[in-house]
Structure formats: C-alpha cells, structure tokens
Amino acid sequence: MCSHMNSSPHIASRLRVDPDATRMASRDFGRLVHPPNPAAYSRQGPRPFLRGQAMASHGVVVEMRSLNNCSCGSGIRVTKNPIWGSYADVGGEQQWIDVLQATLKHGLAPVSWTDYLYLTIGGTLSNAGISGQTFRHGPQISNVYEMDVLTGKGELVTCSKDTNSELFFAVLGGLGQFGIITRARIALEPAPERVKWIQMLYDDFSTFSRDQEHLISINGLDYLEVVKYYDELTSHTVDEELQVLLKGLNFLPGFVFTKDVSLVDFLNRVHSGELNLRAKGLWDVPHPWLNLFVPRSSISDFNSGVFRDILPKINQTTGPFLVYPMIRNKSVAFKWADDWEPLENQNKEILKFCDKAGIKIKRYLSRYTTKEDWMNHFGPKWRTFEDRKAQFDPKMILSPGQQIFNSV
C-alpha cells in the first residue's frame, strides 16, 4: 500500500459475495473451523491461523493480496538512509518471499524472518514473526521502523515509536485488533551469499536444550538450526569458525550433517516441504498445531510431562517438534496429521498438564474462547489492551475471529 495515500482504497465496488469468494474467506490454514459464512472486518492474506481467527462471521474479509495493484508500483521500495541505514517500505499485502527477492537485488535482506515466507507482511507483524533468528535479532515486530495503519475508526495513520507511538506498539503483535497494516518500514542488512546448515542428532532432551542455551549465549551463529552465513570473503574461514562453535556440544558422535546452500534455498526451505506435501495431497488437511512459549525455568518439567509422558502415551503424533530458544523463553510447535481429533485432545491434555504443574506458558497463533482466558493471557497488559481497543476500534469491528471482545 502506498505510504503517501490520502484516502482509503475504494473497495465498495470490489466487494464479492459469490460462492468462490465466500468459500475462500471461510477457510484458514488450520482446516479445523468451517463456518457457513465468511468469518465486523478481518484482513486476510495467506492464512497461518489454526482456528478461524482470520474469519469474520457475517462480516467483511479484506483480501490483502488484492491490494497489490498499488499506484506507487510494486509495493516494495528499498532505501538507504543516513539515520536508519537500509530499509524497505513494504505494502502490508506483500509476502516475505517477495521482500526477499526485491531486497536481494540491492544486496540486502530483512534482519529477522519467519520460517514460512509465503505469508503477508501485515499478517506476521500482527502476531510476532518468529524463527531461528529470533534469539539474535528479536521477532519481526522488533525490526520495524514505521507503519501506515488503517484503524477501526477509518483513519489512515502513519506511526512509529516516536510518532503516534500508542498505535505503533498496539498494532505490532496486536492480533489485528486495532488496525490493518497497509505499509511497514522494515530494517535491512547486507545479505549473505551462502549458508552452512548444520544438523545434529541428540538422544536426550536435557542435553539438547542445554546446548541450545549455550549456542544463543555466544556470538557466532546466525540461526538456531544450526546456521552460519558467509560470502566469498569469508568462505575460507567459515568451516574453521563452525568447528570452534560446535566444540564442546554433546550431540551423538558421528551424527552431524552439513549442507552448503544459497541464502534463498535456506530461507525458503519450508516451501520445498510444502510442495512435496501438496504433491501427495497432504497440505490441505487439518493442522492441529500447538504453539507455546515455555519459561526456561519450567522446560525440564515440560519435557518430563509432555515429551516423556503425554506424547508417548497417545502415540499418534506425526511430524517434527520445533524448539527455538529465545533468550528469555522457548517456542514449541507441533505439526500435523490427517486424523486430527486425537491430536486436538492431546493438545488439550498438554495445556491441562501445564496448568496443573504451574508452568506459565503463553500460547502463540492460538485462540481462547472466553474473556477471562484472554485476560489471563495478557496479564497486567490487559487493561492497556482494552484501552487501545476503545481508542482505535471503539465499534469493535476488527478481527472478531480472535474472539477477544466477542468471546463465546
């Protein structure tokens, strides 16, 4: 979306209510919720949500990708500034894969990534944007200089940490409750050319987590998978640097595997897996994922109760477990299977265990169904969250699918 836009897009003549449009608006990545009408206002691009959060029952869904026809061009403009350094002004409808391709032409790339690049800028910035780089640069929402936001009051506002800061910090990670991001100014850095991608095998979770914590405490790795960036100037030293970084780690001897790939191939690795699953008809199936932030102080209890007890007992979990240390917490994501109901029950048992064990988890890309649950989720920030809603979306028309202010 153009940053110098003087009025909202003329959308009245572009509203669609035909079956194809409503069917698309009534579906998200989770494939667990199937309302008869498109799931007030909700913005959608590619839908990473699992439980209908991007839907707006009996309302209007804004398909962000339709805003690609911006009069200012491609929707991605790369600039170098003496104060901020390099940055990209990016339309909220653009996907991260588009940003990668556009910035690489200038020898640059965003500082922080999401693991899946076929998501919109507005979508990930409305949540957090987490990957194996988060320990180093913070989530994507920590690497934004400025935004244009269309609020629930119909006002197009430019905001930053210094200008209209209340809106700026409310929208970043605000679950779409306060406005639609039409432009974001994203921090860039020089792009590496190649990636050394290391995979190691562990047979003990405690050892694995200790090694992860060690790796994020030292300065050396660029991505916790394990990854080291390099280019032509550093190609003769990268292997030696990796040996130093891996020294003292306690993976199984002999089980370390190295790949040498381009930056694009590494960052786009999840899409390669997606194409394989699509070819087998296994992508458009239910995805009962569970994403949690687990405190470091409780990770051992989580390991004992979840990895060693709940999961082996049910014995129906398929796909990988993604465990990312983030300096102050960890994120655990559980993948999919065709028979999703047993996995959904498993997720409930995990949440119940954490509650009984006093593990103060935070759910990510998930949804609660009562106001009390949301209040507990936000804790002391709830009052501020509620005040910002009244300030920027007083009629509560934005993102009703989250069920925060219209809980069931």
Overall average pLDDT of the 402-406 stretch: 82
Tell me what the mean pLDDT of segment 300-328 comes to.
71
Tell me if 257 sits within 8 A of 196, measured CB to CB.
no
pLDDT (0 to 100) of residue 401: 79
Q: Which of 5-9, 61-65, 91-95 has the lowest mean pLDDT?
A: 5-9
Closest CA to 98 of 127, 128, 73: 73
pLDDT at 63 over 80: no
Write the pLDDT tens digit of every residue in 176-222: 999 999 999 999 999 999 999 998 999 998 898 899 888 888 877 88
pLDDT value at residue 29: 47
pLDDT attached to residue 155: 94
What integer is the mean pLDDT of 366-390? 89
Q: Say what angle helices 382-392 and 371-378 make with each other, to 10 degrees.
A: 110
Which of 19, 224, 22 lies closest to 112, judged by CA? Answer: 224
Per-residue pLDDT at 26: 52
**For residues 136-142, average pLDDT:** 89
Q: Contact, 242 vs 196, CB < 8 A?
A: yes
375 pLDDT more than 60 = yes
Q: Which helix or strand (DSSP H or E) is residue 337 part of? A: none
Is the confidence at residue 50, as pLDDT, over 70?
Answer: no
pLDDT digits (tens, 9 = 90+) for 223-249: 777 778 888 888 889 999 888 888 889
Q: Which of 46-60, 119-133, 360-374 is most confident?
A: 119-133
Chain mean pLDDT for the chain:
78
- pLDDT, residue 64, reads 64
3-state secondary structure of 198: strand
By the 8 A CB rule, do 140 and 125 touch? yes
Q: How confident is the model at residue 296 (pLDDT cuts 50, 70, 90)?
A: confident
- The residue-averaged pLDDT of 285-294 equals 71
Asked if the model's pLDDT at residue 290 lies above 50, the reply is yes
Q: How far apart are CA 233 and CA 337, in angstroms?
A: 44
Kindly state the percentage of the chain with pLDDT values over 70.
71
Class of domain 69-190: alpha beta
Q: What is the third-level CATH fold of 285-364? A: Alpha-Beta Plaits (3.30.70)
- Tell me the backbone φ, ψ of residue 370, rounded to 5 degrees: -130, 150
What ranges do the domains of the chain cover? 10-62, 69-190, 194-267, 285-364
Q: What is the CA radius of gyration of the chain?
A: 22
**Lowest-pLDDT range, 98-112, 251-265, 327-341, 366-380?**
327-341
Give residue 292's pLDDT: 79
Collect all residues with Cβ–Cβ distance below 8 Å to 275 and sequence separation of at least 6: none
pLDDT at 71: 45
Q: Tell me how far apart the alpha carbons of residues 102 and 105 are, in angstroms, rounded to a whole number.
A: 6
User: Could you give phi then psi for residue 37, rounded to 5 degrees?
Assistant: -125, 155
Identify which has the larger pLDDT, 360 or 41.
360
Nearest to 333 by CA among 65, 50, 5: 50
Cis bond upstream, residue 226 (ω within 30): yes
**Separation between Cα atoms, residue 314 and residue 297, nearest integer Å:** 26
Which pLDDT does position 89 carry in this prediction? 96
- Rounded Cα gap, residues 219 and 202, in angstroms: 23
Interacting residues of 14 by C-beta distance below 8 A, sequence separation 6+: 66
Q: How far apart are CA 21 and CA 38, in angstroms?
A: 9
| More confident: 292 or 42 | 292
At residue 141, the pLDDT reads 93
**What does the pLDDT average to over 248-264?**
91
Please indicate whether residue 292 or residue 330 has the higher confidence score (pLDDT): 292
